[in-house]
Amino acid sequence: MKPQTALDRFLQTDPEDVGCDEAMEHLHVYVELVAVDAEAQERYPGIAAHLKACGPCSEDFTGLLAAITGPAL
């Protein structure tokens, strides 16, 4: 085993990754599925793959999820 886990994770790409535009186009749909635990990752694996790899889009997802599930902001 080579000592490269973090770098390897960073360089790893998922062919299912749909990219920022498509993930953000459907983020409002995806986040509502996540909020009700409705198998969002299974239904939209390409968005799930993208959010795992893209920090900015993942941050947007977290913010939107907080906006719709958090207590009165």
Instruction: Map residue 21 onto helix, strand or coil.
Output: helix
Using CB under 8 A as the binding rule, whether residue 40 contacts another protein is answered as no
Considering only residues 39, 42, 48, 64, which one is a binding residue for another protein as defined by CB under 8 A?
64
Considering only residues 4, 38, 39, 42, which one is a binding residue for another protein as defined by CB under 8 A?
4
Nearest-angstrom CA–CA distance, 54 and 37: 22
Q: What is the distance in angstroms between the CA of the first residue and the CA of the last residue of the chain?
A: 47
Return residues touching another protein (CB under 8 A): 1-13, 17-22, 24-29, 31-32, 44, 46-47, 53-57, 59-60, 63-64, 66-68, 70, 73
